[in-house]
Amino acid sequence: MKSINIKCLHCGSEEVVKRGTFETKAHGKQQRFFCKKCGKKFIVRTGFYRMRNNAQKITASIDLFYNGLSTRKVQAHLKAFFPHNASNVSVYNWVIKYSKMIGSFTDKLKIKTGRELQADEIEFKRKGKKAYFLDNIDTKTRFALSSKFCDSRDMPNFKEVFKMAKQKLLNAYEVITTDGYLAYPRAVKVMGVDKRYIQKGGTIHIINNASRGGSFNFPIERLHNTIRQRTEGFRGFHGSREKADLLMCGLLIYYNFVRNHQGIKCCPYELATDLELNNPNRWMDLIELSS
């Protein structure tokens, strides 16, 4: 048996050989490996390791959920096409698990920016109280850079969202456009907005207040229309705030990497990043890259 280019999961040794196969109902035939240094057997752990359902079923469920179906409707769909059904709770857990996994990968991608960044927020109801989704978008590529689901529109939350966006940028923006909310003039300073340097080519902050005669910030408002359309069936985000944030994170992953944008005729990631997703099932590629 020849050594192969795989490291042992237990000791990190490369003295690894193939040692038979085994088969499961969910994942079919899998290769087992043996480490000659520590004497332990293992299999290559993918993003679907120890999952009791196969990868096609899981990714199809996530895609159906973000296409507009509730978890119970996804469950009914699975019952019609898969012999081993999954509960609506399992579908919800898959959405949360893989939104978190993919998000940890996509947050590290560097974004090729355009000229302008637009920032705004959406108001929701969670458990009878107000909650807010803060986000921003690159107007050229339509790529949503960063977001946060939070209970208040205070300064630390706005600054955190701008900091997350700044960490992804390859180049600074020339213009940052917001509405007239009073927290924005101080929060955008995180992005390098400074009146002293505007004449030297620094970033400009434009306040566009539609209620006072200004025009709408159409790119981010178009994104918000998509978000509102999908979140109508979320029934008030009954879970924790952290899980609500992960649901919205998955929705932006769907917007940036899976769904073709009608305005640019492709996915935003194709213009904003160097990432290549060759599988028509883009959820599968994203999970494999994230694991």
Please provide residue 210's backbone torsions phi and psi, each rounded to the nearest 5 degrees: -65, -30
Same domain, 124 and 38: no
Q: How many domains does the chain have?
A: 2
First CA to last CA distance, the chain:
28
Q: Is 111 inside a domain boundary? A: no
Q: Is 86 inside a domain boundary? A: no
Q: Is 102 inside a domain boundary? A: no
Please provide residue 240's backbone torsions phi and psi, each rounded to the nearest 5 degrees: -70, 165
Q: Mean pLDDT over residues 3-16, rounded?
A: 80
Q: Is 196 inside a domain boundary? A: yes
- pLDDT tens for 131-140 read 999 999 999 9
Reported pTM: 0.86
Q: How many CB atoms lie within 10 A of CB 41?
A: 13
Same domain, 120 and 214: yes
Q: How confident is the model at residue 113 (pLDDT cuts 50, 70, 90)?
A: confident
Q: Is 82 inside a domain boundary? A: no
Domain limit, last residue, from 44, 60, 75? 44
- pLDDT tens for 42-61 read 888 888 887 888 899 999 99
Q: Is 84 inside a domain boundary? A: no
Same domain, 18 and 126: no
Kindly provide the b/e burial profile for residues 243-281, where b requires at least 16 CB atoms within 10 angstroms of the residue's own CB.
bbbbbbbbbbbbbbbbbebeeeeebbbbbbbeeebeeee
CATH code for position 37: 2.20.25
Any idea how long the chain is?
291
Give the torsion sign (CA, 267, 273, 278, 279). negative
Predicted confidence (pLDDT) at residue 213 exceeds the cutoff of 70: no
Same domain, 28 and 123: no
Q: Is 260 inside a domain boundary? A: no
Per-range mean pLDDT, top range of 30-44, 72-86, 247-261:
247-261
Domain range for 39 is 1-44
Stronger pLDDT, 81 or 96, i.e. the higher one: 96
Q: How confident is the model at residue 3 (pLDDT cuts 50, 70, 90)?
A: very low
Please provide residue 20's backbone torsions phi and psi, each rounded to the nearest 5 degrees: 80, 180
CATH code for position 187: 3.30.420.10
Domain limit, last residue, from 197, 217, 239? 239
